[in-house]
Amino acid sequence: PLQCGIVGLPNVGKSTIFNALTKSHSAEAQNYPFCTIDPNVGVVAVPDPRFDYLVKIVEPKSSVPVAVEFVDIAGLVKGASQGEGLGNKFLDHIRKVNAILHVVRCFQDENVTHVSGAVSPKSDVEIIELELILSDLDQVDKRLQNLLKKKKSGDKEAVEQSAVLERVAETLKAGKPASAAGLSADDREAIKDLALLSLKPVLFIGNIDEKLLAHPEESPEFRELQQVAKERGAEAIPLSGKIEAEIGQLSPEEEKEFLSDLGLSEPGLNRVIREAYGLLGYITFFTAGEVEVRAWNIVKGETAPQAAGTIHSDIERGFIRAEVTPFSAVEEYGTQKKAQEAGKMRLEGKEYVMQDGDVVYFRFNV
Site of interaction with ligand GDP (CB under 6 A): 8, 10-16, 74, 107, 109, 112, 207, 240-242
Our CB check for ligand GDP shows the closer of 12 and 345 to be 12
Residue 363: DSSP 8-state? E
What's the rounded Cα separation, in Å, for the pair 327 and 359? Answer: 6
Q: Tell whether residue 13 is among the known ligand binding residues.
A: yes
Our CB check for ligand GDP shows the closer of 11 and 313 to be 11
Phi, psi angle pair for 133, to nearest 5°: -65, -45
Q: How far is the CB of 245 from ligand GDP (least distance, A)?
A: 7
Q: How far is the CB of 210 from ligand GDP (least distance, A)?
A: 6
Q: How far is the CB of 109 from ligand GDP (least distance, A)?
A: 4
Integer angstrom CA distances of residue 167 from 143, 160, 342: 13, 11, 56
What's the rounded Cα separation, in Å, for the pair 315 and 306? Answer: 9
The helix (H) or strand (E) run that includes residue 63 is strand 62-64
Q: Tell whether residue 16 is among the known ligand binding residues.
A: yes
Q: Tell whether residue 251 is among the known ligand binding residues.
A: no
Q: Are strands 62-64 and 292-299 parallel, antiparallel or unpaired?
A: parallel
Crossing angle between the packed helical segments 220-231 and 121-152, to the nearest 10 degrees = 20
Q: How far is the CB of 183 from ligand GDP (least distance, A)?
A: 31
Q: How far is the CB of 135 from ligand GDP (least distance, A)?
A: 19
Q: Tell whether residue 12 is among the known ligand binding residues.
A: yes
Our CB check for ligand GDP shows the closer of 143 and 242 to be 242
Residues 6+ positions from 320 with CB-CB distance below 8 Å: 363, 364, 365
Q: 13 and 108 in contact (C-beta within 8 Å)? A: no
Our CB check for ligand GDP shows the closer of 16 and 31 to be 16
Q: Tell whether residue 15 is among the known ligand binding residues.
A: yes
Our CB check for ligand GDP shows the closer of 126 and 246 to be 246
Which residue, judged by CB position, is nearest to ligand GDP in the bound state? 241
Buried residues in 250-277 as b, exposed as e (16+ CB within 10 A): beeeebeebbeeeeeeebbbbbbbbebb
Q: How far is the CB of 238 from ligand GDP (least distance, A)?
A: 11
Q: Tell whether residue 289 is among the known ligand binding residues.
A: no
Our CB check for ligand GDP shows the closer of 187 and 221 to be 221
Task: Tell me the binding residues.
Answer: 11-16
Binding site residue list for ATP: 11-16
